[in-house]
Amino acid sequence: MASNETRNMKSGKETESAVVLENIKSLEKLMLAVAIETEEIKNRHEQKFNALSDRLNSIEASISKLSNAYEDAQKSKEYPKEEPINEFTVSSNNTTNVPSKTMKRFQLKHVFEDVSNFEENKYNYSQWENHYNVKWNMSVTRHNKHLCFFIDCEPVAPADEWSIRTKLECKVVSRNHDVVIRTWESCYGKCKTWGFLHFLEWEEMNKWYLVDGNLTVEAKVTINETTGLEKMKIRKFDESQKDVSDVILVVRNTKFYVSKMYLAAQSSVFKTLLLGNFSESKKSEVPLNGIEPDDFHYFLEVLYGESAIDEANVEDIALLADMYNAPTAIRKCEEFLLEKSKKTFKRKLEIATRYKLENLEEKCLSEARIVSKDS
């Protein structure tokens, strides 16, 4: 009897132990499953977090680019990459300002790499850039223990006889932000390269002006006069128009036969100059100093309703339209930039900011926002 009871108690304990063991195994499986699921959830969340982080970084980069472009455009009001400088004279009665001088200015900048290993007498070039219908680049070379610095140019469209009078300001910057600047007045044409054969001693350049083996060079180019770069003209303003004109506008040695009333209707500056109290309003010939005859010709063509705007002259026409306060010409320049121009986003934004082209500026910013969302 006692023996049977003992066996039953033992059997019961074994059964209880088996149940406990099974429960422990089940609990371990459950804990393992939970751990695996937790790890999967963690991985999924981490993937989502990384994806979200990448997207945020991409958006931030796009916004940064947009911000930089916009800041560059704002700065272009003070000193744009391609900056026409306007100077004015005021008549004795101080009734208005008359444009008297316009200079075309732009800046080139390039970083040459691994300069200390440059071969003797081998030219190293920056990329070509288009400014005012002309291609420009910079080149440096190692020659006779010196750094040589040159600026090259050639017309975008082929031209037989052409010339460009310029003032060059070439600069290199040291690690301590000290600079070496050389200036030179030159006339491009038969000679397409101007610069400095002994710009800086090679050892001095190696010691003070290289940053991680690279050399930063800049050039400011001021165009004083161009000849032979004009495109085909649509309309005539020469003496053949004498019978339908009542004033002659003289730009350098070129005479433009035009109508006072027509120009006055197109431009508030012309209205004051030609119909106001200026002494010029009484003259049969009125000189306009410091502007290019070809640029002024295309500007007049636009005022007279011709489709004269193209990629090469749109900025020149916009400049004159802004100077003479000619809203129709400004609007046509903006329409060309909106619909036809292949200029870069950054360049369009700079032009829009400089000349207050609100529709163009809004389009540039809108396209940038779309790029930011899609990136």
CB 108 within 8 A of CB 169: no
Q: Are residues 328 and 216 in the same domain?
A: no
Residue 320 to residues 113, 150, 219, 227, 314: CA-CA distances in angstroms? 40, 31, 25, 18, 10
pLDDT tens digits, residue range 301-311?
999 999 999 88
User: In this structure, is residue 10 part of a structural domain?
Assistant: no
- What residues contact 174, with CB distance under 8 A and at least 6 apart? 180, 208, 209
- For residue 152, the cross-strand partners are 137, 193
Place of tokens 């037989």: 160
For the segment 214-237, the average pLDDT, to the nearest whole number, is: 86
pLDDT of residue 266: 95
User: In this structure, is residue 236 part of a structural domain?
Assistant: yes
- Looking up residue 323, the CATH number of its domain turns out to be 3.30.710.10
pLDDT of residue 332: 96
User: In this structure, is residue 113 part of a structural domain?
Assistant: yes
Query: Which of 180, 207, 227 is the last residue before a domain boundary?
Result: 227
Give 3-state DSSP helix, strand, coil % of the chain, rounded to 5: 45, 30, 25
Percentage of the chain beyond pLDDT 70 is 71
Q: Structural domain of residue 222, as residue ranges?
A: 90-227
User: In this structure, is residue 169 part of a structural domain?
Assistant: yes
Query: Which of 161, 195, 227 is the last residue before a domain boundary?
Result: 227
Q: Are residues 137 and 264 in the same domain?
A: no
User: In this structure, is residue 143 part of a structural domain?
Assistant: yes
Query: Which of 176, 201, 227 is the last residue before a domain boundary?
Result: 227
Q: Are residues 256 and 318 in the same domain?
A: yes
pTM over 0.75: no
Q: Are residues 198 and 222 in the same domain?
A: yes
Q: Are residues 337 and 280 in the same domain?
A: yes
Q: Are residues 105 and 217 in the same domain?
A: yes
Q: Are residues 256 and 223 in the same domain?
A: no
Return the H-helix or E-strand segment holding 21.
helix 2-75
- Looking up residue 204, the CATH number of its domain turns out to be 2.60.210.10
User: In this structure, is residue 269 part of a structural domain?
Assistant: yes
Q: Are residues 205 and 273 in the same domain?
A: no
Q: Are residues 112 and 131 in the same domain?
A: yes
Q: Are residues 254 and 162 in the same domain?
A: no
User: In this structure, is residue 62 part of a structural domain?
Assistant: no
State how many domains the chain has.
2
Q: Are residues 206 and 326 in the same domain?
A: no
Q: Are residues 216 and 239 in the same domain?
A: no
User: In this structure, is residue 9 part of a structural domain?
Assistant: no
Least confident of 31-40, 104-113, 161-170, 217-226: 31-40
Least confident of 80-84, 227-231, 248-252, 343-347: 80-84
pLDDT tens digits, residue range 260-314?
999 999 999 999 999 988 777 788 899 998 788 889 999 999 999 999 998 888 9
